[in-house]
Amino acid sequence: MPVLVSLAEKLKKDSIANVVASDYINHYLAAQPDDLFFRRGNLDLLARYLVGAESEAFSRILHKQALADKVSRPGFASDYIDVVIEKEYINPIDSHPEWSVLKKKISHRFGRRLADRTVLNVQISWYEAKKDTDLLVQLYAQKYEQFGLDTDRSIGRVGMNNIIYYFFFLHSQDHRLLAKAAGWESLLIQHEKEPGFIDTYANLLYKTGKRKEALYAEEEACRLAPGDADIRLNYQKMLAGKPTWNTN
């Protein structure tokens, strides 16, 4: 059956591929034991062809998230669960979403923590489209405090660094939040001594008035990336006591 799905995909017969994949997932794959169900190819198929939140396949992943992550990648299960719930319980979003109502509906079926996480992720996407930077700083802070950091994957660390730099460093003046962001960035650096991470960390320290610590960190970033003109410029600004962020 997966062969037929692949063939339909190659022929760009999306509707046929959906029907075949759904039939295979719901009537064959979902009935298989764990050693057959939890295989990389099967999980990839599930990610491409979403089944309902009431399906046996969804329930298997919901209740064996660690196994799914081990077979696929860290974070696969939570990403999959969130997408299915968003599709079934949230999307499409109207022009004035009632977040508390959505949380209550999801919480009734899946519990408060999963409802909070799913709705929070949707809120972030919603306000990113609205370009509401101030609120996004608060939402990302809530996400990291409530659900932790994505430090297991390189792509997750890079994404977090970009968020911390853009939303917290460039757009927040709240020293409390900037200090928290510096703490999160230090955890990224513990996993990966990437010059860009260290540069973000140094800039956060500098913006909160910790110039000595910031210079020490930025010197290390310069040493690790001697050809990076942006890091070098930030270091020179710190030496001169000038802002490394836009003050307009």
For 126, the domain range is: 92-130
Cα separation values, 158 from 21, 121, 199, Å: 33, 18, 13
- Taking only the tens place, the pLDDT of each residue in 12-21 is 666 767 777 8
Q: What does the pLDDT read at residue 92?
A: 82
122 and 179 co-located in one domain: no
Q: What does the pLDDT read at residue 218?
A: 97
Residue 135 lies in a domain: no
110 and 40 co-located in one domain: no
- Taking only the tens place, the pLDDT of each residue in 200-236 is 999 999 999 999 999 999 999 999 999 999 999 999 9
Peptide bond into 92 cis (omega under 30): yes
166 and 211 co-located in one domain: yes
Residue 207 lies in a domain: yes
Query: 199 and 229 in contact (C-beta within 8 Å)?
Result: no
Domain boundary among 101, 130, 159: 130
Residue 220 lies in a domain: yes
Helix axes 40-48, 14-27, angle to 10 degrees: 130
Residue 150 lies in a domain: yes
pLDDT category, 66, cuts 50, 70, 90?
Answer: very high
pLDDT category, 5, cuts 50, 70, 90?
Answer: low
199 and 232 co-located in one domain: yes
Q: Which CATH number do you get for residue 176?
A: 1.25.40.10
Assess whether pLDDT exceeds 90 at residue 59.
Answer: yes
List the structure tokens of 83.
């997408």
Residue 183 lies in a domain: yes
111 and 77 co-located in one domain: no
12 and 81 co-located in one domain: yes
Q: What does the pLDDT read at residue 210?
A: 96
Residue 226 lies in a domain: yes
171 and 102 co-located in one domain: no
80 and 10 co-located in one domain: yes
Residue 140 lies in a domain: no
Instruction: Domain count for the chain, please give it.
Output: 3
97 and 83 co-located in one domain: no
- Taking only the tens place, the pLDDT of each residue in 77-108 is 999 999 999 999 998 888 889 999 999 999 99
- Taking only the tens place, the pLDDT of each residue in 113-122 is 999 999 999 9
Cα–Cα distance for residue pair 81/43, rounded to 1 Å: 12
Residue 141 lies in a domain: no
48 and 116 co-located in one domain: no
189 and 157 co-located in one domain: yes
68 and 19 co-located in one domain: yes
Lowest mean pLDDT among 20-29, 54-63, 166-175, 239-248: 20-29
